[in-house]
Amino acid sequence: MASESTGHLQAMAENIRLVLVQQDQERLDKLADVRKDEEVWAHQRKYAQSRRRYLGEDVLKDTGSAVVWWLTKNDEHVEHTVNDLALLAQLTSAANDTDIPERLQHLIAQQAGEPTAPDFPEAQPPSAPQGPETATMRLSDFLDSIGFTDGDVRRPMLAAQIAGLIKEQNRHETAEAIQHHFDPPASPALDDEASTSGSPLA
């Protein structure tokens, strides 16, 4: 073989194949899967850290920031946000590990004192129709307010005097209604019983 004057040897080959044993191939496949999973986990952790930083340092920094954030989330529905003020105050205090500010304490008290409304309100029976308030009803309320309640002997006497004054003003129907209500006529059965009953010594 002739010597090469430059001291270098150039070789060429074709159709070369590299064959790994089965165990080495499995290890390489596992390493590839681990690297892929690690990249996915790193992105997920970065996303979670960014989200926590956004919520902790921006959204839940204080109650005011939480209110503004909640307004944007609820399409600027102010009434809905006002109803959630107590919840937002508790969230911001818990996120910052601080007590709820004194100026917001009444919101928590109101929330605790409110009765829980049922999800499905019970159907209420229709109320009975009420007619217009009459003079008799108003007079009855007036007598009750000044202490002449049912059973007081002065009640029908005073009502009769008022009915007489009303009759003098040509309001006969109203006067008769008052007299009939406060001093109804005696029952005929009671009159018959009173006339037939008598002392055995009479």
- On whether residue 45 sits in a domain, the answer given is yes
Phi, psi of 177 (to 5 degrees): -65, -40
**163 within 8 A of 179, measured Cβ to Cβ:** yes
Which class for 104: exposed (0-12), middle (13-18), buried (19 or more C-beta within 10 A)? Answer: middle
Choose from 33-37, 126-130, 164-168 the range with maximum mean pLDDT. Answer: 33-37
- Are 109 and 66 in the same domain? yes
Q: What is the mean pLDDT of residues 112-124?
A: 50
Q: Which two tokens stand for residue 120?
A: 């499905």
- On whether residue 172 sits in a domain, the answer given is yes
**Is the pLDDT reported for residue 97 higher than 80?**
no
- Are 54 and 38 in the same domain? yes
As for how many domains the chain has, the answer is 3
- Are 29 and 47 in the same domain? yes
Q: Which two tokens stand for residue 132?
A: 């217009």
Q: Considering only CA atoms, which of 163, 26, 79 is closest in space to residue 71?
A: 79
Distance CA(125)–CA(183), nearest Å, equals 35
- On whether residue 104 sits in a domain, the answer given is yes
- On whether residue 108 sits in a domain, the answer given is yes
- Are 33 and 64 in the same domain? no
pLDDT of residue 59: 81
pLDDT of residue 194: 47
Q: Range of 93's domain? A: 60-114
- On whether residue 123 sits in a domain, the answer given is no
